[in-house]
Amino acid sequence: MTPPAANPDGRKPMIECRQVQKYYGDYHALRGIDLTIREGEFFSLLGPSGCGKTTLLRTIAGFEEIGSGVVLIDGRDMRDVPANARPTNMVFQSYAIFPHLTVAQNVGFGLRRDPRSAVEKARAVDEALEMVGLKGFGRRAAHALSGGQRQRVALARALILKPKVLLLDEPLSALDRKMREQMQVELIKLQRQVGITFVLVTHDQEEALVMSDRIAVMFEGEIAQLDGPEALYARPASRRVADFIGVMNFLPARILGETDRGVTVDAPGFGVVEVPMRNVSRANPGDAGPTVGFRPEAVTLTPVAGRGPERAVDRVSGGVIDEVVYYGDMTYYDVRMDGSARYDGIARPVRVSMRNLFGREVPDVGTRTRVVWSPGSLVLFR
């Protein structure tokens, strides 16, 4: 695991988890979570279902008891602090809009114990509704709202209390694709506007990459990697993380030597290459041996008769196009690279994605092609 830098930008820690453990009977749901989420950060917990991300979020919210370990919010120990007394508010996966109340009553639900006058509270509700783009919706019945509107009400209801942390449990999973993409952008804007720490739980890697400042990838109750989106995508800490986030090609490789700058490997199809040290990951549990990986868009196909590599660092291999999958804006090609079966006689086609440019022809299956790549776009799991 990449250790989170303690305080690179001077922001104070908002949520600190130290060795948080949680059992359900014999099931070990959280296996010692160490995590610091900074103030004003958009943080995501990403992982497949059952990885413990929701349990962790609910532990922070106070809906699950802290098994062992410590959870601090803004420096305060949360053990024995019930959910209603924590400085967190939550947007539920189902939104949990109270169906017997109006939109305004829903948004103002948490103001019941607020000492302000009714007029001031009503103004606060109006402001909150305006913030989420639901101005004038206050008198509507909650059960008549659309999915996107419910989500906005849930946001307004949580944000009106000005929590230190807003927890979002898969808030976009119930929306259709278009709406989801729109809400992603709106959530980012909203977070910048209010400056509150957002903690998002999601199983959708794209969503996490789009929205987060930092992402914790979780498998089986443990954090597998904690990094910013770019680092996570470009330099996954393990094959498993690489596989979960986006698409990655994996090829068996032989390690030939190691220097301070990098590790020299022999990978079928690529030949002898030095992978830069920052792209080398030692976390490769359970894998057969050293593996070289690269993203489909990290290499380029050019016609055999075409121009050569454009940059000095680029290298060229040859191959044959095995399969073409056309997606409109992009095309996926399965390419059998020359010499790829050199190790064990198994020819593993690699997947390459290319943006479709107008005027450029999509090559046919069986076409010979040149594969242009650079050592910096390869990662090594050893």
Residues that bind other proteins (CB under 8 A): 24-27, 61-63, 65, 82-85, 88-90, 92-94, 96, 98-100, 109-110, 112-113, 143, 157-158, 161
The smaller minimum CB distance to other proteins, of residues 92 and 343, is found at: 92
Ramachandran category for residue 15: left, alpha or beta (phi over 0 → left; psi -120 to 50 → alpha) = beta
CB of 202 to other proteins, least distance (A): 17
Interatomic CA distance for residues 207 and 218, integer angstroms = 15
State in angstroms the smallest separation of the CB of 96 from other proteins: 4
Q: In what order do the strands lie in the sheet with 280-281?
A: 249-252, 291-294, 379-381, 280-281
Ramachandran region of residue 80, left (φ > 0), alpha (ψ -120 to 50) or beta?
Answer: left
State the DSSP string of 290-357: -EEEE-GGGSEEEETTS---SSTT-EEEEEEEEEEEE-SSEEEEEEEETTTTTTTS----EEEEEEPP
CB of 381 to other proteins, least distance (A): 34
Nearer to other proteins (CB atom), residue 83 or residue 341: 83
Smallest gap from Cβ 45 to other proteins, in A, equals 17
Closest separation in Å from C-beta 31 to other proteins: 16
Query: Closer CB to other proteins, residue 113 or residue 177?
Result: 113
CB of 92 to other proteins, least distance (A): 4
The nearer residue to other proteins, 110 or 133, going by C-beta atoms, is 110
Residue 157 or 351 with smaller CB distance to other proteins: 157
Residue 53 and residue 82: Cα distance in Å, rounded? 20
> Which residue lies nearer to other proteins by CB, 27 or 358?
27
Closest distance of CB 162 from other proteins, Å = 12
- The sign of the torsion formed by the CA atoms of 48, 170, 12, 64 equals negative
Gap between the Cα atoms of 195 and 159, Å rounded: 11
Our CB check for other proteins shows the closer of 46 and 158 to be: 158
What's at 264, amino acid-wise? T
Instruction: Name the nearest CA neighbour of 367 among 301, 298, 297.
Output: 301
| Residue with the two structure tokens 């050569």 | 308
Phi, psi at residue 377, to the nearest 5°?
Answer: -95, 0
